[in-house]
Amino acid sequence: MKVVYLIGNGFDLNLGLKTSYSDFYTYYLNIESNDIQIAQLKEHLKHDKDNEGRYQYWSDLEIAMGEYTKEFSRREDMEKVYNDLNDNLRDYIMKVEQDNIQSDADKKDKLKRDLAHPERYLREIFKEEFRSYVKKWETSTYETFIISFNYTNTIEAILNMKGSGSIEIGQTIFNRSNLLYPIIHIHGLSNTPIIGLNDVSQIRNESFKEDEDVQEFLLKPKINKAVGHLNDKKSLFNISQANLIYLFGVSLGDTDKLWWEAVGERLKLDCRIIYFVYNPNEHPRHNELTRIRRKYKEFLLSKTQLTNEEKQEAFNKIFIVLNSDMFNLKK
- pLDDT per residue rounded down to tens, the chain (331 residues): 999 999 999 999 988 899 999 999 999 999 999 999 999 999 999 999 888 888 999 999 999 999 999 999 999 999 999 999 999 999 999 999 887 777 788 999 999 999 999 999 999 999 999 999 999 999 999 999 999 999 999 999 999 998 778 999 999 999 999 999 999 999 999 999 999 999 999 999 999 999 999 999 999 999 988 988 889 999 999 999 999 999 999 999 999 999 999 999 999 999 999 999 999 888 889 999 999 999 999 999 999 999 999 999 999 999 999 999 999 987 5
Quick count: other Cβ atoms within 10 Å of Cβ 82? 20
Name which of 33, 1, 4 is nearest 265 in CA terms.
4
Can you give the pTM of this predicted structure? Answer: 0.94
Quick one: CATH architecture of 2-15+103-191+228-322? 3-Layer(aba) Sandwich (3.40)
Q: Residue ranges of the alpha helices (H) in the chain?
A: 10-14, 21-29, 36-46, 61-68, 75-100, 105-116, 124-134, 154-159, 212-218, 220-227, 231-241, 257-266, 289-302, 308-315
Name which of 276, 282, 268 is nearest 312 in CA terms.
268
Query: Structural domain boundaries of the chain?
Result: 2-15+103-191+228-322
Q: Name the residue type at position 177.
A: S
Which backbone phi and psi does 178 adopt, to 5 degrees? Answer: -130, 110
Cβ partners under 8 Å of residue 209, min gap 6:
200, 203
